[in-house]
A and B are shown apart, each in its own frame.
Chain A
């Protein structure tokens, strides 16, 4: 049984560009959450998707958007990248609003 998978592992972009990160949840999970983790900090909640709709959102600008597909996989899109968007982006899946299972993350570097 595969756990949560994310792609790509690493990504380098320049300011102003757009990026799409992908996440496949653990088998049997229907909820996907996205987090941003800056170096030396705890993960910050971006948003959560359930039944293909955004259910919860953290304090992130509209440049951050997402999508959930019928197979429960999800994408995180970030437009007009800023240097401050450089971080580890983590995806987590769950079935109930309890334990979340995290993927290995995508390391985004904005130059």
Chain B
């Protein structure tokens, strides 16, 4: 079963706009990670946020974590065509931090 669920399942925006994806999870976590996947290929790690952190930035990416609501969001600013991909959140639980559980993903399409 999935630990995390992304929302929305699909998102289509104009190039240059910001894209926001949300992730909700069920159990206490050690950390939460966001990955990108292009066309069914391998996943690329984007950012990791630990349970004691609330916000993290990396380039055009901003991730927030609200452990009280068991939710996270990924914001991509000034989107580009190359950002078209599927985005997954993945959680590592306290009980077994080495095992990460993926959500079902958000398919992001950037219109030129």
- Chain A residues lying within 8 Å of B40, measured Cβ to Cβ, are 37, 39, 88, 105, 107
A48 and B102 in contact (CB under 8 A), knowing A99-B33, A100-B45, A102-B44?
Answer: no
Give the complex CA separation of A88 and B42 in angstroms.
9
- Chain A residues lying within 8 Å of B2, measured Cβ to Cβ, are 42
Count chain B residues whose beta carbon lies closer than 8 angstroms to a beta carbon of A. Answer: 25
A43 and B45 in contact (CB under 8 A), knowing A88-B40, A100-B100?
Answer: no
A41 and B42 in contact (CB under 8 A), knowing A56-B96, A98-B31?
Answer: no
Within 8 A of B (CB), among A47-99: 48, 50, 55-56, 58-59, 88, 90, 92, 94, 97-99
- Chain B residues lying within 8 Å of A33, measured Cβ to Cβ, are 98-100
Answer yes or no: A103 CB below 8 A from chain B CBs. yes
Give the complex CA separation of A5 and B69 in angstroms.
38
Answer yes or no: A31 CB below 8 A from chain B CBs. yes
Answer yes or no: B25 CB below 8 A from chain A CBs. no
- Chain A residues lying within 8 Å of B102, measured Cβ to Cβ, are 35, 42-45
Give the complex CA separation of A37 and B2 in angstroms.
12
| Contact sample, A vs B, 28 pairs, CB 8 Å cutoff | A33-B99, A35-B102, A37-B40, A39-B40, A41-B105, A42-B88, A42-B102, A42-B103, A42-B104, A42-B105, A43-B88, A43-B102, A44-B102, A48-B98, A56-B98, A59-B1, A90-B42, A97-B98, A98-B31, A98-B48, A99-B45, A99-B48, A100-B100, A102-B42, A102-B44, A104-B41, A105-B41, A107-B40
The 9 closest A-B CB pairs, nearest first, are: A97-B98, A42-B102, A102-B42, A102-B43, A97-B97, A104-B42, A56-B99, A43-B102, A42-B104
Which residues from chain B sit less than 8 Å from chain A, CB to CB? 1-2, 30-31, 33, 35, 40-45, 48, 88, 92, 96-105
